[in-house]
Amino acid sequence: MQRMSGVATLTAQYVAAVAGTRAVILDTRKTTPNFRYFEKWAVRLGGGQNHRFGLYDMVMIKDNHHDFCGGIANAIRQTRQYLSDQQRDLRIEVEVRNLSELDEALSVGQIDRIMLDNFDVPTLRQAVERIAQRYETEASGGITLDTIRAVAQTDVDYISVGALTHSYKSLDLSLKAY
């Protein structure tokens, strides 16, 4: 209860920090072994939303995937082919590290969300403008309570924060009757 209260409280602080913007606070899959369900539940109780629960409910093409496939375009095409071959209907998110990779993802399309990983605020704003609401946008990477408001003001749709489930402070609870 102490741990989950800490997760919910930290999530509520992040949600409050972006109030009045379109940004939705997301958790990540970075959870404590055997506690994922509870930590993700605590995020929801704190006003955030869950990203993916596991590897099975959305495809995320990360930097190592497109590096291995020879670029974002190949990674997206291969993912689409795999989903077709397996008769699976899953949303696809692609991670980009810079504006050049963003342009490649935009030229291919066939995705649902673009994760803008470790972008500084001016570059993030530029990326969101380039995407022009054609795809959902997600900011991720090193975002803190001190920086989240500026990130949210770029008009990004989602902000994923791993700290919600790995950097919370447990709430000090006591069951003593006074």
In a domain, 142, yes or no: yes
As a 3-state breakdown, the chain gives helix, strand, coil percent values, each rounded to 5, of: 45, 15, 45
Does residue 11 lie within any of the structural domains? yes
* pTM score: 0.92
Give the domain CATH number at 85. Answer: 3.20.20.70
- Residue 116 in contact with residue 93, Cβ under 8 Å? no
Is 21 among the domain residues?
Answer: yes
User: Does any domain span residue 178?
Assistant: no
Quote the number of domains for the chain: 1
Residue 63 lies in a domain: yes
Residue 98 DSSP one-character state: S
pLDDT in tens, 67-108: 999 999 999 999 999 999 999 999 999 999 999 999 999 999
- Percent of the chain at pLDDT > 70 equals 98
Type of residue found at 82: Y
User: 82 lies in which domain range?
Assistant: 2-166
Segments of 68-119 assigned E as strands: 92-96, 113-117
